[in-house]
Amino acid sequence: MTTIDPQTDLLRFGLAGKINLTSKEQVTPHKISLLVLIFEYCELKRKQNQPFIFGQNPLPPEERISENEKRDFMTLILKLLQSPDLTLKELLSQTQHILKPKMFDEFMDRLKEFYEEDVLPLMDFFQELHRMLSEPITPEIPVISSSSVLGLFFRRMILVFDSLSFSQVTSLYNQFKHYYEEVNGPAPVDESENFGGSLMDSITKETERLTCSALGRESGHLGLGASESETAGYFSHKQAEYFISRQGFLLQHNEKEAMNPKELQTQISNMLHSNPALAEAHFLSYMNNLRVKEYCNAVHNLFHCFDRNTNFTDESLANKTVEEDVSRRYASLNLAGLHFRFGHKEEALAALQEAIRMAQETNDHVCLQHALSWLHRIEDPGKARTASLIARSVDKSEEMSLPNITSFSVQALAKHNAFFTARPSSVIEYMLKSDILNCQHSQPHFMCVSFAQKAALWHMYGKRESSSMCSQLVLNLDTSEGGIYHNGESVCLALCNIARLFADEGNYMLALEVINNAKQRFPPQTQHASLWMIYEQEIMFDRSMLSQKDELASQALNGLQALDQDEFRLRSGVFKKERGDVSAALITLTKLKEHVQANLQNYSPEFPCRVMLALADLYIQTGNHISATSQILECITKAKEHHLEYIHSLAAVYLAFVQFLMQLPEKALALLDQHMVTILSHGNCLDRARTLYCYARCTVAHGSNLAKADRKSSLLLAVNVMITVIELFKKLDAHMRVKDAIYYLARLYHELNYTVERNKSAYEFRQLDSQYPTHSQVSVVRL
């Protein structure tokens, strides 16, 4: 039988598709080194456990093995048994700091003996391994139990070695020589080898030459040994299965702990070279390609995986097994998920319909539930059909005891209802049902997703403290499974939300610290790294705009353009407005509003409201109060429809400011009294400062028609409010807004005849104006 190159093995038809082309176990130089390592450890332990006999030198204390050293050695051996083959240099780097000096020297001496004295010491060594597996003569003599992990490893190696022919043993020895020479270098060549020598030496060298060529290739074809260049990185079948399960689990739960994409792909290639028919390796490669959004290779590996689980002969088509039918159904499901991930909606629906058809033919209700959960995700959101599909998925999956699909469907239904005018109480009630289900079935991954979704919902409804609490719960959940903590998209979102909360309060250093923590948890090559990149650019943009650093704001915009087009367009309009380019800002924001209204189902209800408020702010600064009022009222209508309490209150503050500009301070104060508590309770630092600033100005305008005593009290109230406003603006490094607030405070002191305070405020204003001059008239009249 000849080996098949996995790089060119695009399709394999016939019975070869079900045959493992390599033996499940083989003796390699790395495994010989592990056997020697375990053997020397047992020898040292035997000497340590020997009873004291007068006249014999006991084992020195520095050579005795402590309990902690035993634990470290056993842990290392277990790791090495489960890992692919290493080079000798890599093996020594992992073992030298753990082994006793005496034991390390004995280990290296035996490897050197194998290298220098040809095949005979190697064969004698395997005979000694038989002794270690025999029953103990006395309890003091340590042996390896034949049913233990090490015992099973010894038995497999002895069995495989005993089955080798002499030529194959010679080939194994030649591989060991190359393996040893990578660290110690080749042995010096005797001159007699080149000039003369005995007849027996010539025959021996000729035999070795033949063995290294024809017989070596033969043994490699039979799977009894890798070539010299393939010694490192060999995977036995069991090692490959463990590696796939481990890396697959890490990719799902904690991608940072998994190997990086390049290294993992290299290991997968080595694994496929050792086990060409291992379909699971292709699926792991498919998952690895999804991490880096590599579409072509992902499709290629997905097809490879399911091709190897299917026979294509006429006989197999006539008698299809249950496993092959299941493979085809789930192949279509995975293909649908792949296309959906890359935005190919029509292709995803076609693959999903194929999976549904095959599942219906065989009454596979579990597959149908998985397909239904994908169907309501691929369907257009906001339609009655989508809500019906989600409700059916919840009922059927609960009936079939599928808690993961039930939890996912309940959360999807809650999100659907939240985006389409359902009351917040009913939405949170659905999320509570999901939490109960996750706790009952111990699903930490879905617990994290549930809390992250609740944090997003509370943020949308304007409850910042509740949103912060849910984000912190995500980070404080005990999600450990097998010593690995869940570190998925929900964790990254929670970190980003907390960073945003810090930035909103002016704690930029703390916000960047949290973002740096997210960077460490989710390196740039991971699939969720784009989340913290977006938040980082948004925080940098907001900070730069408040501190009038246009260059930094422009850089943040450029970074945001590659990550989130909608946020880029919105903030691009704000940036142009702040720089005084009113016409360009109006065009940008108007086009964005039209695009959002045309694709309303793809956006959360909060985003269109933010676009309307940005347009209203632009109209206010240009003196177009009528257009600003229409945008604000449209925003209030949408906010009421979707129960967005905070957006509603913020829009009301904008409307009060318009009324103030239209010389209606009484109505503005009445409106502020209704909504100011919501802003001060749940608003960020900037919104609180702007609301208080508007309230102070409305109070002063309203007091202009009052009696002298009442007017003075209103002025004093405005002074106290403006002191708070200045403190809030200073926390945000909003220098231009601080300058405006100090100017207004100086005017108030002038009205009160507080000369000293007025002069102090005027001097502070002059200092700020010299550092941050006003370049645009648009920025003078703003909320």
Least confident span in 66-80, 135-149, 436-450, 687-701: 135-149
Residue 190 confidence (pLDDT) above 80: no
Please name which of 36, 25, 85 lies closest in space to residue 230, comparing C-alpha atoms: 85
What gap in Å lies between CA 509 and CA 518, rounded to an integer?
14
Please name which of 580, 536, 578, 537 lies closest in space to residue 557, comparing C-alpha atoms: 537
Q: Residues for the chain: how many in total?
A: 783
What gap in Å lies between CA 11 and CA 312, rounded to an integer?
10
Please name which of 315, 311, 265, 259 lies closest in space to residue 285, comparing C-alpha atoms: 265
Specify the pTM. Answer: 0.79
Per-residue pLDDT of 170-184, as tens digits, reads 888 888 888 888 777
Per-residue pLDDT of 114-163, as tens digits, reads 888 888 888 888 888 877 776 554 554 556 777 788 888 888 888 888 88
Residue 338 confidence (pLDDT) above 70: yes
> Once rounded to an integer, what is the mean pLDDT over residues 218-222?
36
pLDDT value for 499: 95
Per-residue pLDDT of 601-614, as tens digits, reads 888 999 999 999 99
Within 8 A by CB and 6+ apart from 682, the residues are 462, 463, 464, 465, 646
pLDDT value for 687: 95
Please check whether residue 266 is in contact with residue 241, taking contact to mean a CB–CB distance below 8 angstroms: no
Residue 532 confidence (pLDDT) above 70: yes
Residue 312 confidence (pLDDT) above 70: no
Give pairs for 760-769: CB < 8 Å, separation 24+.
765/739, 768/735, 768/738, 768/739, 768/742, 769/739
pLDDT value for 309: 65
Residue 226 confidence (pLDDT) above 90: no
List the structure tokens of 683: 């608003």
Q: 185 in the Ramachandran plot: left (φ > 0), alpha (ψ -120 to 50) or beta?
A: left
pLDDT value for 31: 87
Residue 222 confidence (pLDDT) above 60: no
Within 8 A by CB and 6+ apart from 81, the residues are 34, 149, 153, 239
What gap in Å lies between CA 251 and CA 245, rounded to an integer?
10
Q: pLDDT confidence of 51, banded at 50, 70, 90? A: low
Residue 52 confidence (pLDDT) above 70: no
What gap in Å lies between CA 505 and CA 524, rounded to an integer?
27
List the structure tokens of 767: 């200092």
What gap in Å lies between CA 389 and CA 375, rounded to an integer?
8
pLDDT value for 270: 84
Please check whether residue 653 is in contact with residue 682, taking contact to mean a CB–CB distance below 8 angstroms: no
Per-residue pLDDT of 351-398, as tens digits, reads 888 888 888 888 888 888 888 888 888 876 667 777 888 888 888 888
Give, in order, the Cα–Cα distances in Å from 497 to each of 110, 458, 493, 518, 732.
59, 12, 6, 11, 18
Q: Identify the bridge partners of residue 254 per DSSP, sorted by sequence position.
A: 487
pLDDT value for 212: 40
pLDDT value for 379: 76
pLDDT value for 253: 86
Q: 421 in the Ramachandran plot: left (φ > 0), alpha (ψ -120 to 50) or beta?
A: left
Please name which of 424, 469, 476 lies closest in space to residue 448, comparing C-alpha atoms: 476
What gap in Å lies between CA 760 and CA 748, rounded to an integer?
13
Percent of the chain topping pLDDT 70 = 84
pLDDT value for 274: 77
Q: What is the mean pLDDT of the chain?
A: 82
Q: Which residue has the higher pLDDT, 137 or 669?
A: 669
Within 8 A by CB and 6+ apart from 395, the residues are none
270-271-277-283 Cα dihedral, nearest 10 degrees: -110
What gap in Å lies between CA 75 and CA 572, rounded to an integer?
56
- Compute φ and ψ for 294, nearest 5 degrees: -95, 95
For helices 322-341 and 345-362, the axis angle rounded to 10 degrees is: 160
What gap in Å lies between CA 505 and CA 521, rounded to an integer?
24
Residue 236 confidence (pLDDT) above 90: no
Q: Which residue has the higher pLDDT, 497 or 222?
A: 497
Within 8 A by CB and 6+ apart from 206, the residues are none
Residue 191 confidence (pLDDT) above 60: no
> Once rounded to an integer, what is the mean pLDDT over residues 399-421?
88
> Once rounded to an integer, what is the mean pLDDT over residues 256-275?
85
Q: pLDDT confidence of 6, banded at 50, 70, 90? A: very low
Range of 247-251, 391-395, 457-461 with top mean pLDDT: 457-461
List the structure tokens of 397: 């999956």
Q: Which residue has the higher pLDDT, 634 or 774?
A: 634
